[in-house]
Chains A and B, each alone.
Chain A
Amino acid sequence: MNTTIMLFLVQDGITNGAIYALLGLALVLVFAVTRVILIPQGEFVTYGALTYASLSAGQFPGTARLALAMGIVAFGFDIYVARKSLRRRLVGRAIIVNIALPAIVFALTYALVGHPSGIAVNIALSLAIVAMIGLFLYRIAFQPIAHTSVLVLLIASVGCHLAMQGFGLLFFGAEGQRGPALSNAAFTLGPLRFTGQSIAVYVVTAAFIVGLWLFFGFTLTGKALRATAVNRLGARLVGIRTTLAGQLAFLMAALIGAVSGILIVPITTLYYDTGFLIGLKGFVAAIIGGLVSYPLTAVAALVVGIVEAFSSFYASDFKEVIVFTLILPVLVLRSLAQPAVEEEKD
Chain B
Amino acid sequence: MKVPEQVRRLALLIAILAGVTLLARFVLIPRALVSTDLHWAEAVQREVAKPVKFAGAVACQDCHEDVVVKKAKGFHKGVTCETCHGPAAKHTEEPGAVTPPAPRDRRFCPACHTYDPSRPTGFPQINPTAHNPLKPCISCHNAHDPVPPRVPRECAACHAQIERTKAVSSHALIACTTCHKAPERHKSAPRAALPSKPETREFCGTCHSAGTAAKDAPKEAPKVDLSTHGGRSLCWECHYPHLPEGRT
Asked whether A and B interact, the reply is no
